[in-house]
């Protein structure tokens, strides 16, 4: 039977089968081709979507806006300060109001339970644009990027270095387990993914012929890896006071040229972005001044090297978010 995601919300990848995730990656590839060839695809003309952002964004917001416009839809953006949600109106009431006006709702913010509650009450598809726990739209872009580079996904090894319990690391563990990619979480024991999520992902991985491993040894993580992935050490919503401790814990897991060279010859470097690979940001400059280090989760050399595919990933956010919206709204 064909895949049909019409009317579904996109909240976390645990809710989707490997076939459904693969369908979204295929669709994203199709949309990329349409965009590159300048072929119009206003398939959702007349529909309207709303984007609720309780945290800042460049890629996710722009991807939803451009993808929405390319599909012919009206797009409304609500920033962290300009809606009543949470302060003067409950999540449940907000969902019931927006569901009457819009055909789909994107939410970026805090607890996963907020986006789940929105979806329970909205009556229209809700898309998770990042919560504290998960970042599922990023995963369709990342797996598309990996497939473009290697021509396959099954049997590859992806190692995540650093804060292995954040939203991106959690989501990578789930998507790898679903798609037959061997996942390795490489970080200090204090920042390892939650035991119950590891157990869930190991059971899924066993069904799909791959493994989920944890290591505190960076060289062990790099060995045999096809993808070296990292993310910032203090995520949005976490207090700035955490920097000192995170630097102490995570410095050994910075992705360097030595680590990249210890991986497979054709290994690639990935990062969801934004990245602190130099001091050209406020945070990068603050950390340099306070802690005397100018590169955080990866070196500038790795970020800028030929094996870095970070801007392909960023572009693919737009094609994959278009695929997710189209599949659930058509
Ligand atoms: N990767 C990502 O979600 O980027 P933004 O925070 O800029 O949306
Ligand atoms: N872990 C990061 C991802 C940003 C896309 C954060 O939540 O800030």
Ligand 2 site-directed mutation target among 57, 60, 129, 135, most atoms within 8 Å of CB: 135
- The secondary structure element, H or E, covering residue 175 is helix 167-179
What's the pLDDT at 53? Answer: 94
What's the pLDDT at 200? Answer: 98
**Full pLDDT tens readout for the chain, 330 residues:** 699 999 999 999 999 999 999 999 999 999 999 999 999 999 999 999 999 999 999 999 999 999 999 999 999 999 878 888 888 898 899 999 999 999 999 999 999 999 999 999 999 999 999 999 999 999 999 999 999 999 999 999 999 999 999 999 999 999 999 999 999 999 999 999 999 999 999 999 999 999 999 999 999 999 999 999 999 999 999 999 999 999 999 999 999 999 999 999 999 999 999 999 999 999 999 999 999 999 999 999 999 999 999 999 999 999 999 999 999 999
The answer to whether 250 touches 163, Cβ cutoff 8 Å, is yes
Helix axes 136-150, 167-179, angle to 10 degrees: 50
What's the pLDDT at 182? Answer: 99
What separation in Å is there between the alpha carbon of 207 and the centre of ligand 1? 31
Residues recognised as catalytic: 108, 135, 138, 231, 272, 317
What's the pLDDT at 1? Answer: 66
* DSSP reduced 3-state for 28: helix
Residues facing 158 on adjacent strands: 183, 227
Shortest-distance ligand to the CA of residue 133: 2
Query: How many C-alpha atoms does 274 have within 13 Å on its Cβ side?
Result: 14
Determine the Cα–Cα distance for residues 120 and 104; give it in Å rounded to an integer: 13
What separation in Å is there between the alpha carbon of 114 and the centre of ligand 2? 17
Binding pocket residue ranges, ligand 2, CB within 6 Å: 130, 166-168, 231-232, 235-236, 272
Determine the Cα–Cα distance for residues 250 and 244; give it in Å rounded to an integer: 10
Which of 245, 181, 252 minimizes the C-alpha distance to 218? 252
What separation in Å is there between the alpha carbon of 59 and the centre of ligand 1? 5
Cβ atoms within 10 A of the Cβ of 154, count?
12
Binding pocket residue ranges, ligand 1, CB within 6 Å: 57-60, 130, 138, 272-274
Query: How many C-alpha atoms does 60 have within 13 Å on its Cβ side?
Result: 26
* Cα–Cα distance list, 216 to 55, 160, 163, 221 (Å): 31, 11, 12, 8
Which of 136, 158, 137 minimizes the C-alpha distance to 147? 158
Q: Whose alpha carbon is nearest atom 6 of ligand 2? A: 235
């Amino acid at each position: 039977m064909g895949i049909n995601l019409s009317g579904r919300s996109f909240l976390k990848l645990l809710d989707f089968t490997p076939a459904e995730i693969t369908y979204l990656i295929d669709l994203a590839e199709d949309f990329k081709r349409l965009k590159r060839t300048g072929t119009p695809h206003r398939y959702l003309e007349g529909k309207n979507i709303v984007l609720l952002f309780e945290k800042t964004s460049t890629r996710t917001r722009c991807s939803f806006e451009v993808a929405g416009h390319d599909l012919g839809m009206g797009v409304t953006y609500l920033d962290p300060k300009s809606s009543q949600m949470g302060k003067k109106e409950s999540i449940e009431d907000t969902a019931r109001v927006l569901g009457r006006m819009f055909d789909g709702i994107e939410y970026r913010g805090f607890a996963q339970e907020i986006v789940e509650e929105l979806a329970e009450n909205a009556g229209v598809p809700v898309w998770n644009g990042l919560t504290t726990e998960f970042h599922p739209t990023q995963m369709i872009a990342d797996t598309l990027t990996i497939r473009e580079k290697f021509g396959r996904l099954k049997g590859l090894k992806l190692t995540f270095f650093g804060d292995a319990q954040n939203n991106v690391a959690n989501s990578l563990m789930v998507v790898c387990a679903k798609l037959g990619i061997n996942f390795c979480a490489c970080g200090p024991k204090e920042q390892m993914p939650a035991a119950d999520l590891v157990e869930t992902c190991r059971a899924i991985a066993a069904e799909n012929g791959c493994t989920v491993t944890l290591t505190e040894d960076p060289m062990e993580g790099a060995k045999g890896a096809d993808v070296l992935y990292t993310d910032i050490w203090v995520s949005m919503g976490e207090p700035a006071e955490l920097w000192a401790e995170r630097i102490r814990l995570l410095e050994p897991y910075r992705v360097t040229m030595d680590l990249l060279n210890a991986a497979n010859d054709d290994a690639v470097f990935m990062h969801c972005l934004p990245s602190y690979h130099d001091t050209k940001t406020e945070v990068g400059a603050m950390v340099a001044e306070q802690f005397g280090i100018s590169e955080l989760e990866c070196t500038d050399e790795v970020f800028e090297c030929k094996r870095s595919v970070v801007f392909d990933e960023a572009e693919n956010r737009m094609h994959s978010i278009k695929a997710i919206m189209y599949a659930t709204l058509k």
